[in-house]
């Protein structure tokens, strides 16, 4: 019953998380587009009002004329909409999902005993520490270097170095799947913290100064605007790396790789470079920036290099014909049964899989301890145990490569159960 309810919680929270993330990313991308397409007006009435940039757009049968005030308008005539619940809802739903799937089942999803044999409580504490530590380090870097000469480049380089170290450390301490997600969650935490601690408080101070009736110090308000813009720009570059980290749990060949931390870093770098292409492209169309194609090209080169490199470094598969010749150390792999027969895999499944997919427990409603049940899930068994090597989770039951090959032989021979 508990597993059933956790599956429902996983589904519903994941659904909520995706919806709120779409809302947050969508509004973030739109405002980046808007900032890069606003043109300084020449109309005297707009200049008198303090409009620094404006544009016309058409959508859904209507015309829109967004205008941006560099500091603040003299008066706000209608309701003022605040963009922050998209961010908060995304983080809260994401953390809830992380709790339900990874923290609640830390012994299964968070811990890989071949990397670090520690208690669930210790692993959970370390995982939460990643979220807090990255925000504190990143925030301090921004405060120390953000407004110096070449501050953006310095901050970018230092934050990238911190992410590289975090990616390496996470992949040494946690199961690969959890490590990828944890690095993404740590960056996403900084994104939402940017909104909570800097962007919204700064905007509230600007609005309070406007509505107080007192004389406004333009320099003071400009600092809030500049800091808010800086953190907002950081968030847009973080977005694609975070999305990759969140999607990576579906692709075991990435996080189970020997060089998984390098893969994570390069994929995030490619995402940031490609995002830079789209950001700069808007300014390029208006003659305010150089052609952004080198960033797109660099991102694609990183991806191609990674694809080719992973294939070149992939260990050669053992010949299928050699699979029956197994040593006693291969455990159940030495069980009786002709290659490709049900008998040849039944002992493997009994030793490695039945504890989670047998009579007592059927994780994900998958049961493998009968010929009929195995036939139903044959393709999934092959994909998860042989191709992706995601099961058993974190190889908690110690399945060997020879045993995986044995399952592969059985599936390729027609997945016969008689």
DSSP code string of 272-315: HHHHHHHHHHHHHHTTSS---HHHHHHHHHHHHHHHHHHHHHSP
Retrieve residue 409's tokens.
């032989």
Segments in 146-217 forming alpha helices (H): 151-173, 176-194, 200-211
Instruction: Name the pTM for this structure.
Output: 0.79
Instruction: Answer for the pair 333, 326: CB distance below 8 angstroms, yes or no.
Output: yes
Closest CA to 403 of 334, 357, 353: 334
Q: Residue 268, Cα to own-chain centre: how many angstroms?
A: 9
The C-alpha atoms of residue 178 and residue 175 are separated, in whole angstroms, by: 5
The C-alpha atoms of residue 87 and residue 239 are separated, in whole angstroms, by: 12
The C-alpha atoms of residue 235 and residue 229 are separated, in whole angstroms, by: 10
Q: What is the pLDDT along the chain (418 residues), one digit of tens a residue?
A: 566 787 888 899 999 999 999 999 999 999 988 888 888 888 888 888 888 899 999 998 899 999 988 766 777 778 888 999 999 999 999 999 999 989 988 887 888 877 888 999 999 999 999 999 999 999 999 999 998 999 999 999 999 999 999 999 999 999 888 999 999 999 999 999 999 999 999 888 888 877 777 776 777 777 888 898 899 999 999 999 999 999 998 887 888 788 999 999 999 999 999 999 999 998 898 888 899 999 999 999 999 999 999 988 876 544 433 344 444 444 444 445 677 788 888 888 888 888 888 877 777 677 888 888 888 888 778 878 887 777 887 777 888 888 888 888 888 888 888 7
Q: What are phi and psi of 52, to 5 degrees?
A: -95, -25
Instruction: Answer for the pair 202, 228: CB distance below 8 angstroms, yes or no.
Output: yes
């Amino acid at each position: 019953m508990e597993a059933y309810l956790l599956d429902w919680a996983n589904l519903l929270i994941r659904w909520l998380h995706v919806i709120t993330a779409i809302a947050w990313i969508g509004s973030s991308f739109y405002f980046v587009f808007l900032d890069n397409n606003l043109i300084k007006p020449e109309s005297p009435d707009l200049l008198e009002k303090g409009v620094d940039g404006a544009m016309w757009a058409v959508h859904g049968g209507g015309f829109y004329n967004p205008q941006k005030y560099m500091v603040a308008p003299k008066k706000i005539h209608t309701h003022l909409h605040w963009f922050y619940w998209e961010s908060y809802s995304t983080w809260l739903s994401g953390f809830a999902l992380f709790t339900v799937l990874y923290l609640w089942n830390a012994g299964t999803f968070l811990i890989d005993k071949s990397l670090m044999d520690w208690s669930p409580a210790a692993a959970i504490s370390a995982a939460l520490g990643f979220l807090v530590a990255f925000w504190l380090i990143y925030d301090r870097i921004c405060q120390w270097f953000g407004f110096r000469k070449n501050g953006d480049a310095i901050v970018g380089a230092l934050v990238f170095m911190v992410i590289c170290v975090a990616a390496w450390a996470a992949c040494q301490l946690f199961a690969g799947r959890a490590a990828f997600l944890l690095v993404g969650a740590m960056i996403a935490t900084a994104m939402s913290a940017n909104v909570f601690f800097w962007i919204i408080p700064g905007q509230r101070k600007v609005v309070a100064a406007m509505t107080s009736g007192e004389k406004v110090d333009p320099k003071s308000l400009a600092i809030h605007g500049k800091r808010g813009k800086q953190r907002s720009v950081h968030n847009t570059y973080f977005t694609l790396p975070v999305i990759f980290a969140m999607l990576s749990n579906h692709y075991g060949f990435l996080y189970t790789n020997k060089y998984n931390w390098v893969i994570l870093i390069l994929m995030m770098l490619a995402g940031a470079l490609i995002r830079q292409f789209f950001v700069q492209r808007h300014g390029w169309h208006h003659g305010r920036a150089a052609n952004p194609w080198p960033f797109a090209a660099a991102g694609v080169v990183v991806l191609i290099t990674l694809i080719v490199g992973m294939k070149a470094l992939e260990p050669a598969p053992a010949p299928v014909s050699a699979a029956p010749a197994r040593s006693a150390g291969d455990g159940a792999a030495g069980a009786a049964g002709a290659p490709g027969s049900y008998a040849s895999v039944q002992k493997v499944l009994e030793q490695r899989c039945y504890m989670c997919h047998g009579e007592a427990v059927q994780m994900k409603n998958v049961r493998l301890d009968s010929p009929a049940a195995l036939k139903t899930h044959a393709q999934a068994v092959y994909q998860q145990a042989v191709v992706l090597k995601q099961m058993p989770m974190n190889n908690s039951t110690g399945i060997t490569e020879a045993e995986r090959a044995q399952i592969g032989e059985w599936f390729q021979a027609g997945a016969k159960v008689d």
